[in-house]
Structure 1
Amino acid sequence: MKLASRVSLIKPSPTLVITAKAAALRAEGRDVVDFGAGEPDFNTPDSIKNAAIQAVESNFTRYTAVGGIDELKDAIIRKLQRDNFLSYKRSEIVVSCGAKHTLFNLAQVLFEEGDEVIIPGPYWVSYPDLVLYTGAQPVIVNTQEKNGFKLTPEELEAAISEKTKALIINSPSNPTGCAYSKEELAALAEVVIRHSLMVISDDIYEKILFDDMPFWNMAAVNPALKDRTVVVNGVSKAYAMTGWRIGYAAGPEPVIAAMGKIQSQSTSNPASISQKAAVEALNGDQQVLVEMVREFQKRRDYIVSTLNAFEGVSCLKPQGAFYVFPNVSALYGLSWKDRKITDSATMTEYLLEEAEVAVVPGIAFGDDRYIRISYATSMSIIEKGLERIGKALRRLS
């Protein structure tokens, strides 16, 4: 059987592959510490679960409007006004089956063969594949650690061609945890406006920021960009609702309508029960977010200081999300027994097989000098995993 050629354009998500390998080893009885998955270890708050239970008990279990129920759209509108100072109407909101689904639909609507899409690297693993699947070309701009892994106006300007259609900005970032300030986004916005680009603002980690850093996105920073920006967000990361699969987009009405059309022929509506849960998440008490972020910041501080104490490892302190992206390239060329560390993939294999710790190779995010470690797990597991990593790295010679 011959598969469609477009299937060869994309690859399985590396983070999910690592998670599956860790699960397989655990099934064999091995005590694997999983630093691979980008999934909060907190339980979904009770008020949100209760809203879902009420939806089931009231038989809210049928199809809904393709792009989401009005109650959820209104909750999203209030959230965007309250948190981001952005005003939208229902026709400018679409709800999908997670933020990844939202981004997939958006790419299908905006991009086609001949287009170029600028993606700052290191990047979330799915961005290039989402662009490639449309026939467009991702243009990776490698950012510098000395700049906090953030795209500069000069780097953006140099990457733009007559084919450039859009820029994807993820702040706070997966995998680096970097977050853009209002001033940094304003400087990028000037370049975007000058070249009439679209902006995809992936705000999924918006609520997970540290050291009292305020959140801004491109549309909020420069009102002139609101009609050229699609804001993508969801409830997965902030409310520990990864399995509920609710993401959403806010943007120009023609774009949102087209996304709804694509969705109508693929998944139809997101789960009715999950939509009711998301209403409670956005409208309910937000104090739970404060408590989660406080715990994430405590973990960040511990993991960064510990990693920087390892010989041959350097780790920038992230400003948000729940990942660290340590540079381990100084260890390349070293070996232990028959294992030689030559790149991020062999480092990852070594840590999984010898230390029983699952991390993600930096090459999956576009930079082979690094590995990604998720600290969306308990402090006790973090301590155990780092102790194992430290011992494994000390064996190398």
Structure 2
Amino acid sequence: MVRAVEKARPSVVNLRGQKTVREEGAAAREVNGMGTGVVIDPRGYIITNNHVVEGVRRIEVTLHDGKALVAHVVSTDPKTDLALIKVDADEPFEVITIGTSSDLMIAEPVVAMGNAYGYEHTVTRGIISSLHRTVQVSDAQQYEDLIQTDASINPGNSGGPLLNVDGEMIGINVAVRAGAQGIGFAIPVDNAMAVAARLMSIERIDRNWHGLVGKPVEKDGKHRLVVDKISEQSPAALGELKPGDVITSMGDVAVERPLDVERALLGRKAGEEVPVVVERDGKPLKLSLVLAAKGRNALPTEERVWDALGMKLAAINTRDLREQLTKYRGGLKVVAVKDDGPARKQGIRPGDILVGMHVWETISIDNVEYILNRPEINEIVPVKFYIVRDGETLIGRLPIVGATVTK
């Protein structure tokens, strides 16, 4: 137990704040709130209970070494009573080791850590008393599928980790029975981390989009993330990921669950290429995906390009650049052509790489947008285009729907 606590302690933080409480028939009053949080990403992302931070004007986070920082709320989920907050610091934070709640057993020994009654880094121990408990604490709040333990979980412990003997987090504590003796509850870690992934994605999707849906599975005692669905023409599809692939790493993050994908992509920008390693048919395969703008295909001007040129374009990955574009700095892959559009009529096919139009390179979608917006566009249609197919450069002239030929 000592080793388990020492392993987890650097990742457990104490939370304090002040909120205004308004009760029917009484004047509003200021109260000091307290709780606990757990670091789940080295950049300072912390998971805690929603009721700990709800309504708090200023959240003060105290680290294990006594350093105090101010946090802001990233996102909350009142239904599950979970919240994601973030603190900023010059050094990376130590991250809790995340276990699993899928193989818990009744009578298994556990440790609860937290800020009980304001006493920082309080540790209590006990066993798992029961599993899959439903607890109704108010008309507005019902917890489902909770872990029940006889380890003391008191006010201030909320949001702290429930640990197994290996120091792995197996649950997030919730103090739902004030004054209860020998009865405490925790949200199973698998449920909590699934919610954490959603909460983290709310911040990420404003910046980038990948287009894949992962399904967590457990095999041979290990967590694995299997690609379940892929949106058509999404970065994941264009990066050649397929349903059934097991994602083992993304960027520099080892992937075991959806939260890891969010951690790998958080802070990255649309247009950035991310290496991905998957396991397909039992063999490792290195791929990459180029992130797109929020909720869109890889092209912000997709509809306009489709209407004007009759083709859909996507950023190419490193492999295409290395294998096919030895003479050019880059290009855009043709992923679809409209049946009656200009591209098809000029012989352009899916798989071709557009490397230039007129006198301009087409390395990014911004280049195509620039060309379509040129004031002299009517003077240069049909536009000379350059594509690469099987390593060979082909040249043709492409009409632009909506442009008027003036020469």
State if a TM-score over 0.5 links the two structures.
no
- Higher strand proportion, which one? 2
Q: Which has the higher contact order (CA 8 A, sep 6+)?
A: 1
- Answer 1 or 2: which has greater helix percent: 1
